[in-house]
Amino acid sequence: MSLNPDIQEKVHEEIERVIGGDRAPSLTDKARMPYTEATIMEVQRLSVVVPLSIPHMTSEKTGKSRAFLLGTPLREARPLHPEDLRDPAIWEKPNDFYPNRFLDDQGQLIKKETFIPFGIGKRVCMGEQLAKMELFLMFADS
């Protein structure tokens, strides 16, 4: 983000237009700030904070083999690999910082199924909603 002053300026303009300088951001502002939200999503896409899931272990003996004893670490079933968010088969110019990839022609936010910075399925981050709210509030207040 710091290498893209033009994007910083667009985010700043949106923050000034929606929030102004006399109050702190609120979650109700989020829906009226698609460019800021798209920028946060692009930062998340390019900067996977925790690329690995929490290690899992067996909680009881499994099968007849002694290889699966209680407490044996299991190979992680990770639904998210950092390279998934930079896959050229999914993302056009995957290494470029381009928030507009998350906006439609009218400048409204697009939710993409391939954007999964918090994982998917049973292994999705339990704090996803809280993290999204906090990211917005901190980002918009800076």
Q: How many structural domains are present in the chain?
A: 1
> Measured between alpha carbons, how far is 103 from 107 in angstroms, rounded to an integer?
5
The domain containing residue 90 runs over which residues?
5-50+78-140
Q: Is residue 101 part of a domain?
A: yes
> Measured between alpha carbons, how far is 72 from 56 in angstroms, rounded to an integer?
9
**pTM score, whole prediction:** 0.78
Alpha helical stretches, state H, the chain = 5-18, 34-46, 128-140
Query: Residue 117: which pLDDT band, with cuts at 50, 70 and 90?
Result: confident
Segment 63-80 mean pLDDT:
51
Q: Which residues define the annotated binding site?
A: 125
pLDDT at position 101 is: 96
Q: Which residues define the annotated binding site for heme?
A: 125
Q: Is residue 113 part of a domain?
A: yes
Segment 52-71 mean pLDDT:
54
Q: What does the block give as tokens for 132?
A: 């999204």
> Measured between alpha carbons, how far is 20 from 125 in angstroms, rounded to an integer?
33
Q: Is residue 18 part of a domain?
A: yes
Q: Is residue 58 part of a domain?
A: no
pLDDT at position 77 is: 47
Q: Is residue 55 part of a domain?
A: no
111: enclosing H helix or E strand: none
Pairing of strands 73-74, 56-57: antiparallel
Q: Is residue 35 part of a domain?
A: yes
> Measured between alpha carbons, how far is 124 from 134 in angstroms, rounded to an integer?
17
